[in-house]
Amino acid sequence: MITFNCTIQEGTIPDDLRPELASELARISTAILGGAPADVAVRWIEIPHGFGFRGGELSTTSAVRGEIPPGCDQETRVQLMQQIQDRWLELTGCTTDELVVSARDRR
């Protein structure tokens, strides 16, 4: 099982874009790590408007936190996170300063 917790600021990722992002997370992670897209879970955590700040300004930052099968080598992990970042930026129009991607081993 691969799990992604996507923490987003209210109003930054439209509801109608979320299924496509989730599908892309499943596609990318299974292409790199193996498994089936049905084994990938994506959870959305929305920070209410006015509750997230960065540098004294309202935040537009999203975080995609993956939990992947243990034993992934560093090169593969970097490839996974880079492809996730590239596709997320392409679909959302956000900048690299507005996205944090991580992938830790599932316990």
Name the DSSP letter for residue 70. T
* pLDDT tens digits for range 3-46: 999 999 999 999 999 999 999 999 999 999 999 999 999 999 99
Domains and CATH numbers, the chain: 2-105 (3.30.429.10)
Distance (Å, rounded) from C-alpha 107 to C-alpha 105?
A: 6
Global model pTM greater than 0.85: yes
Residue 41 β-bridge partners: 3
39, 2 Cβ separation under 8 angstroms: yes
Question: For the segment 40-80, what is each residue's pLDDT rounded down to a tens digit?
Answer: 999 999 999 999 998 888 999 999 999 999 999 999 999 99
Full 3-state SS string of 55-68: CCEECCCEEEEEEE
Half-sphere exposure of 13 (CA within 13 A, CB side): 28
Q: What pLDDT does residue 54 have?
A: 87
- On whether the CB atoms of residues 102 and 64 are closer than 8 A, the answer is yes
